[in-house]
Protein backbone atom coordinates (compact mmCIF):
# COMPACT_ATOMS: atom_id res chain seq x y z
CA UNK A 1 0.00 0.00 0.00
CA UNK A 2 2.83 2.38 0.91
CA UNK A 3 4.49 1.79 -2.45
CA UNK A 4 1.31 2.84 -4.28
CA UNK A 5 1.17 6.12 -2.34
CA UNK A 6 4.86 6.68 -3.04
CA UNK A 7 4.28 6.24 -6.79
CA UNK A 8 1.24 8.54 -6.63
CA UNK A 9 3.20 11.31 -4.90
CA UNK A 10 6.09 11.06 -7.38
CA UNK A 11 3.67 11.13 -10.31
CA UNK A 12 1.89 14.18 -8.89
CA UNK A 13 5.14 16.06 -8.33
CA UNK A 14 6.27 15.24 -11.88
CA UNK A 15 2.96 16.39 -13.33
CA UNK A 16 3.05 19.75 -11.56
CA UNK A 17 6.73 20.17 -12.43
CA UNK A 18 5.88 19.87 -16.13
CA UNK A 19 2.68 21.92 -15.92
CA UNK A 20 3.61 25.00 -13.94
CA UNK A 21 1.05 27.77 -13.64
CA UNK A 22 0.93 30.32 -16.41
CA UNK A 23 2.33 33.70 -15.45
CA UNK A 24 -0.40 36.04 -14.21
CA UNK A 25 -0.37 39.25 -16.22
CA UNK A 26 -2.65 42.24 -16.55
CA UNK A 27 -4.11 42.39 -20.05
CA UNK A 28 -5.18 45.77 -21.51
CA UNK A 29 -8.64 45.88 -23.05
CA UNK A 30 -7.40 47.42 -26.32
CA UNK A 31 -4.71 46.20 -28.78
CA UNK A 32 -1.15 46.39 -27.48
CA UNK A 33 2.42 45.33 -28.18
CA UNK A 34 4.60 42.96 -26.18
CA UNK A 35 8.37 43.27 -26.59
CA UNK A 36 9.41 39.62 -26.99
CA UNK A 37 13.12 40.23 -27.54
CA UNK A 38 15.61 43.04 -28.07
CA UNK A 39 18.95 41.52 -29.18
CA UNK A 40 20.53 41.40 -32.63
CA UNK A 41 20.18 38.18 -34.67
CA UNK A 42 22.92 36.24 -32.86
CA UNK A 43 21.43 36.91 -29.43
CA UNK A 44 22.86 38.03 -26.12
CA UNK A 45 25.24 36.52 -25.15
CA UNK A 46 26.66 35.93 -28.61
CA UNK A 47 28.54 32.79 -29.58
CA UNK A 48 32.32 32.83 -29.04
CA UNK A 49 32.25 36.24 -27.35
CA UNK A 50 34.73 36.33 -24.48
CA UNK A 51 34.30 40.02 -23.69
CA UNK A 52 32.83 41.31 -20.46
CA UNK A 53 29.59 42.23 -22.26
CA UNK A 54 28.82 38.52 -22.74
CA UNK A 55 30.72 36.76 -19.96
CA UNK A 56 28.67 38.73 -17.43
CA UNK A 57 25.55 36.93 -18.64
CA UNK A 58 26.99 33.54 -17.71
CA UNK A 59 27.57 34.72 -14.16
CA UNK A 60 24.14 36.31 -14.04
CA UNK A 61 21.66 34.61 -16.42
CA UNK A 62 19.04 37.30 -15.77
CA UNK A 63 21.11 39.56 -18.04
CA UNK A 64 20.51 37.35 -21.08
CA UNK A 65 18.18 38.73 -23.76
CA UNK A 66 16.18 37.11 -26.56
CA UNK A 67 16.45 38.09 -30.21
CA UNK A 68 14.54 41.15 -31.45
CA UNK A 69 10.83 40.46 -31.94
CA UNK A 70 7.54 42.12 -31.07
CA UNK A 71 4.10 40.65 -30.53
CA UNK A 72 0.82 42.38 -31.32
CA UNK A 73 -2.24 41.34 -29.31
CA UNK A 74 -5.89 42.11 -29.94
CA UNK A 75 -7.61 41.07 -26.69
CA UNK A 76 -11.04 41.82 -28.15
CA UNK A 77 -10.72 38.98 -30.69
CA UNK A 78 -8.23 36.94 -28.64
CA UNK A 79 -5.75 37.18 -31.53
CA UNK A 80 -1.99 37.71 -31.67
CA UNK A 81 0.67 38.16 -34.30
CA UNK A 82 4.47 38.03 -34.24
CA UNK A 83 6.72 40.34 -36.19
CA UNK A 84 9.75 38.19 -37.06
CA UNK A 85 10.42 34.58 -36.10
CA UNK A 86 13.67 34.33 -34.18
CA UNK A 87 15.86 31.48 -32.90
CA UNK A 88 14.11 32.16 -29.56
CA UNK A 89 10.71 31.40 -31.13
CA UNK A 90 9.77 28.69 -28.60
CA UNK A 91 10.20 30.95 -25.58
CA UNK A 92 8.68 33.95 -27.32
CA UNK A 93 5.59 32.04 -28.46
CA UNK A 94 5.12 30.83 -24.89
CA UNK A 95 5.50 34.35 -23.56
CA UNK A 96 2.81 35.50 -25.96
CA UNK A 97 0.39 32.88 -24.59
CA UNK A 98 0.20 34.93 -21.39
CA UNK A 99 -1.97 37.36 -23.34
CA UNK A 100 -4.22 35.05 -25.39
CA UNK A 101 -6.39 32.12 -24.35
CA UNK A 102 -5.84 28.55 -25.52
CA UNK A 103 -3.41 29.38 -28.33
CA UNK A 104 0.15 28.05 -28.38
CA UNK A 105 1.20 29.85 -31.57
CA UNK A 106 0.30 33.29 -32.93
CA UNK A 107 -2.46 33.78 -35.49
CA UNK A 108 0.14 34.97 -37.98
CA UNK A 109 3.84 35.72 -38.38
CA UNK A 110 5.17 38.69 -40.36
CA UNK A 111 8.74 38.25 -41.61
CA UNK A 112 10.97 41.25 -42.30
CA UNK A 113 13.82 39.54 -44.21
CA UNK A 114 16.10 36.55 -44.68
CA UNK A 115 18.76 37.06 -41.99
CA UNK A 116 19.05 34.42 -39.28
CA UNK A 117 17.43 36.32 -36.44
CA UNK A 118 14.32 37.20 -38.40
CA UNK A 119 12.92 34.04 -39.98
CA UNK A 120 14.66 30.86 -38.75
CA UNK A 121 12.26 30.49 -35.83
CA UNK A 122 9.65 29.05 -38.19
CA UNK A 123 11.65 25.79 -38.07
CA UNK A 124 9.92 25.04 -34.77
CA UNK A 125 6.63 24.78 -36.64
CA UNK A 126 7.97 21.80 -38.64
CA UNK A 127 7.55 18.05 -38.23
CA UNK A 128 10.68 17.71 -36.06
CA UNK A 129 9.08 20.04 -33.53
CA UNK A 130 5.44 21.18 -33.27
CA UNK A 131 4.26 19.89 -36.67
CA UNK A 132 1.89 22.83 -36.85
CA UNK A 133 -0.99 23.12 -39.29
CA UNK A 134 -1.07 25.99 -41.77
CA UNK A 135 0.25 28.77 -39.55
CA UNK A 136 -0.04 31.95 -41.67
CA UNK A 137 3.39 33.37 -42.51
CA UNK A 138 3.31 36.74 -44.27
CA UNK A 139 6.22 37.31 -46.63
CA UNK A 140 7.28 39.52 -49.52
CA UNK A 141 7.80 38.04 -53.04
CA UNK A 142 11.52 37.20 -52.77
CA UNK A 143 11.03 35.91 -49.24
CA UNK A 144 8.18 33.63 -50.37
CA UNK A 145 10.28 32.35 -53.27
CA UNK A 146 13.22 31.68 -50.96
CA UNK A 147 11.13 29.71 -48.48
CA UNK A 148 9.35 27.77 -51.21
CA UNK A 149 12.43 26.73 -53.18
CA UNK A 150 15.10 26.14 -50.53
CA UNK A 151 15.26 23.40 -47.92
CA UNK A 152 14.63 22.90 -45.12
CA UNK A 153 12.09 25.73 -45.36
CA UNK A 154 10.41 24.27 -48.44
CA UNK A 155 9.39 21.26 -46.34
CA UNK A 156 7.38 23.56 -44.07
CA UNK A 157 5.50 24.71 -47.16
CA UNK A 158 5.02 21.30 -48.80
CA UNK A 159 3.84 19.64 -45.57
CA UNK A 160 1.58 22.62 -44.87
CA UNK A 161 3.08 23.39 -41.49
CA UNK A 162 3.00 26.99 -42.65
CA UNK A 163 0.75 28.75 -45.13
CA UNK A 164 2.62 31.49 -46.98
CA UNK A 165 0.57 34.67 -47.29
CA UNK A 166 1.61 37.12 -50.04
CA UNK A 167 2.20 40.75 -49.15
CA UNK A 168 3.37 43.66 -51.28
CA UNK A 169 5.29 46.85 -50.60
CA UNK A 170 2.99 49.76 -49.64
CA UNK A 171 -0.11 47.54 -49.83
CA UNK A 172 -2.25 47.45 -46.71
CA UNK A 173 -3.59 44.13 -45.42
CA UNK A 174 -6.56 44.00 -43.02
CA UNK A 175 -6.08 41.48 -40.22
CA UNK A 176 -9.47 42.07 -38.66
CA UNK A 177 -11.98 44.89 -38.33
CA UNK A 178 -9.58 46.92 -36.17
CA UNK A 179 -6.02 46.14 -37.23
CA UNK A 180 -4.17 46.46 -40.55
CA UNK A 181 -0.53 46.07 -41.61
CA UNK A 182 1.44 47.74 -44.41
CA UNK A 183 4.93 46.50 -45.42
CA UNK A 184 7.51 49.20 -46.21
CA UNK A 185 10.56 48.10 -48.18
CA UNK A 186 13.86 49.44 -46.82
CA UNK A 187 17.50 49.25 -47.98
CA UNK A 188 19.47 46.46 -46.35
CA UNK A 189 21.85 43.62 -47.24
CA UNK A 190 19.40 41.68 -49.38
CA UNK A 191 21.46 38.61 -50.26
CA UNK A 192 18.47 36.26 -50.41
CA UNK A 193 15.35 38.33 -49.84
CA UNK A 194 14.14 41.90 -49.78
CA UNK A 195 13.83 43.68 -46.41
CA UNK A 196 10.77 45.40 -45.03
CA UNK A 197 9.60 47.22 -41.98
CA UNK A 198 5.93 47.36 -41.05
CA UNK A 199 3.40 50.09 -40.42
CA UNK A 200 0.73 48.72 -38.11
CA UNK A 201 -2.64 50.49 -38.00
CA UNK A 202 -5.25 50.47 -35.26
CA UNK A 203 -8.01 52.95 -36.04
CA UNK A 204 -6.29 56.31 -36.34
CA UNK A 205 -3.22 55.08 -34.44
CA UNK A 206 -0.07 53.82 -36.11
CA UNK A 207 3.07 51.97 -35.05
CA UNK A 208 6.27 51.54 -37.05
CA UNK A 209 8.59 48.53 -36.78
CA UNK A 210 11.96 48.76 -38.56
CA UNK A 211 14.49 46.49 -36.81
CA UNK A 212 16.98 46.48 -39.69
CA UNK A 213 18.00 49.14 -42.21
CA UNK A 214 21.36 50.15 -43.68
CA UNK A 215 21.34 53.90 -42.98
CA UNK A 216 18.41 56.27 -42.71
CA UNK A 217 19.94 58.42 -45.45
CA UNK A 218 19.87 55.49 -47.90
CA UNK A 219 16.10 55.27 -47.69
CA UNK A 220 14.26 57.41 -50.20
CA UNK A 221 11.72 58.22 -47.49
CA UNK A 222 12.05 60.40 -44.41
CA UNK A 223 12.16 58.54 -41.13
CA UNK A 224 11.70 61.88 -39.36
CA UNK A 225 8.37 62.43 -41.11
CA UNK A 226 7.29 58.90 -40.32
CA UNK A 227 8.03 59.45 -36.63
CA UNK A 228 5.85 62.56 -36.65
CA UNK A 229 3.06 60.53 -38.23
CA UNK A 230 3.04 57.49 -35.92
CA UNK A 231 2.31 56.89 -32.24
CA UNK A 232 5.03 54.27 -31.64
CA UNK A 233 8.31 53.65 -33.52
CA UNK A 234 10.45 50.55 -32.88
CA UNK A 235 13.71 51.44 -34.64
CA UNK A 236 17.03 49.78 -35.51
CA UNK A 237 19.64 50.37 -32.81
CA UNK A 238 22.07 47.56 -33.63
CA UNK A 239 25.18 49.58 -32.80
CA UNK A 240 25.53 52.51 -30.45
CA UNK A 241 28.49 54.12 -32.21
CA UNK A 242 31.17 53.67 -34.85
CA UNK A 243 34.15 51.51 -33.86
CA UNK A 244 32.04 49.33 -31.58
CA UNK A 245 33.22 46.07 -33.18
CA UNK A 246 36.64 44.98 -34.43
CA UNK A 247 35.84 45.00 -38.14
CA UNK A 248 35.02 47.44 -40.89
CA UNK A 249 31.55 48.57 -39.85
CA UNK A 250 30.70 49.63 -43.39
CA UNK A 251 30.33 45.87 -44.04
CA UNK A 252 27.38 45.79 -41.65
CA UNK A 253 25.79 49.22 -42.10
CA UNK A 254 23.15 50.23 -39.58
CA UNK A 255 22.17 53.63 -38.18
CA UNK A 256 24.35 54.12 -35.13
CA UNK A 257 22.24 55.23 -32.17
CA UNK A 258 24.44 58.32 -31.93
CA UNK A 259 23.60 59.12 -35.58
CA UNK A 260 19.88 58.54 -35.03
CA UNK A 261 19.77 60.78 -31.98
CA UNK A 262 21.48 63.53 -33.95
CA UNK A 263 19.03 63.08 -36.83
CA UNK A 264 16.08 63.20 -34.43
CA UNK A 265 17.35 66.01 -32.21
CA UNK A 266 14.90 68.62 -33.53
CA UNK A 267 11.84 66.48 -32.92
CA UNK A 268 9.48 67.64 -30.20
CA UNK A 269 9.68 65.91 -26.80
CA UNK A 270 6.35 64.24 -27.61
CA UNK A 271 7.74 62.81 -30.86
CA UNK A 272 10.97 61.64 -29.22
CA UNK A 273 8.98 59.66 -26.66
CA UNK A 274 7.46 57.62 -29.49
CA UNK A 275 10.84 56.08 -30.31
CA UNK A 276 11.82 52.71 -28.81
CA UNK A 277 15.33 51.66 -29.81
CA UNK A 278 15.55 47.88 -30.39
CA UNK A 279 17.74 45.15 -32.01
CA UNK A 280 20.95 45.58 -29.98
CA UNK A 281 24.20 43.90 -30.90
CA UNK A 282 25.89 42.17 -27.94
CA UNK A 283 28.46 44.99 -27.89
CA UNK A 284 25.83 47.71 -27.59
CA UNK A 285 26.00 49.36 -24.14
CA UNK A 286 22.23 49.94 -24.26
CA UNK A 287 21.96 46.31 -23.12
CA UNK A 288 23.69 47.25 -19.87
CA UNK A 289 21.30 48.50 -17.21
CA UNK A 290 22.38 51.84 -15.81
CA UNK A 291 25.10 52.38 -18.42
CA UNK A 292 26.14 55.86 -19.49
CA UNK A 293 24.74 55.08 -22.93
CA UNK A 294 21.33 54.31 -21.46
CA UNK A 295 21.41 57.49 -19.40
CA UNK A 296 22.38 59.53 -22.48
CA UNK A 297 19.52 58.12 -24.59
CA UNK A 298 16.95 58.63 -21.86
CA UNK A 299 18.20 62.14 -21.06
CA UNK A 300 17.61 63.09 -24.68
CA UNK A 301 14.00 61.93 -24.39
CA UNK A 302 14.15 58.61 -26.26
CA UNK A 303 13.14 55.18 -25.00
CA UNK A 304 14.86 51.81 -24.94
CA UNK A 305 12.81 48.69 -25.66
CA UNK A 306 12.72 46.35 -22.67
CA UNK A 307 12.07 42.64 -22.97
CA UNK A 308 8.59 41.56 -21.75
CA UNK A 309 7.32 45.13 -21.57
CA UNK A 310 3.76 45.83 -22.66
CA UNK A 311 3.20 48.95 -24.76
CA UNK A 312 -0.41 50.10 -25.31
CA UNK A 313 -1.26 51.12 -28.84
**Per-10-residue mean pLDDT, the chain, length 313:** 40 41 70 98 96 95 97 97 98 97 96 98 98 98 98 98 98 97 96 98 97 96 98 97 77 90 98 98 96 98 98 95
Beta strands of the chain (E only): which ranges?
Answer: 32-37, 69-74, 79-83, 108-110, 135-139, 162-166, 173-174, 179-185, 196-202, 205-210, 232-236, 275-278, 303-304, 310-312
The answer to whether position 232 is within a domain reads: yes
Check residue 253 and give its pLDDT: 80
The answer to whether position 4 is within a domain reads: no
Check residue 292 and give its pLDDT: 97
Residue 178 backbone zone (phi > 0: left; psi -120 to 50: alpha; other: beta): alpha
Check residue 23 and give its pLDDT: 55
Check residue 24 and give its pLDDT: 59
The answer to whether position 196 is within a domain reads: yes
The answer to whether position 10 is within a domain reads: no
Classify 310 as helix, strand or coil. strand
CATH number at residue 174: 3.60.15.10
The answer to whether position 9 is within a domain reads: no
The answer to whether position 2 is within a domain reads: no
Check residue 225 and give its pLDDT: 98
Check residue 14 and give its pLDDT: 39
The answer to whether position 19 is within a domain reads: no
The domain tally of the chain equals 1
In angstroms, the CA 144 to CA 149 distance is: 9
The answer to whether position 162 is within a domain reads: yes
Domain hosting residue 34, numbered range: 25-312
Amino acid sequence: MKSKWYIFILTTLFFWGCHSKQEVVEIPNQPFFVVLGVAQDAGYPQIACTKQCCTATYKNPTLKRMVSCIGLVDPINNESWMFDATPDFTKQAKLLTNYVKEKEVPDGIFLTHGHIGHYTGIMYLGREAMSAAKVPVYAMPRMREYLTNNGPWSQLVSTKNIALQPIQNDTTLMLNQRIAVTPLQVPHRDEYTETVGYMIHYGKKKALFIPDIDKWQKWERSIVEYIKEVDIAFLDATFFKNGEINRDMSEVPHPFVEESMQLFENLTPEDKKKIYFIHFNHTNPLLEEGSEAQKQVQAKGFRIAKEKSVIPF
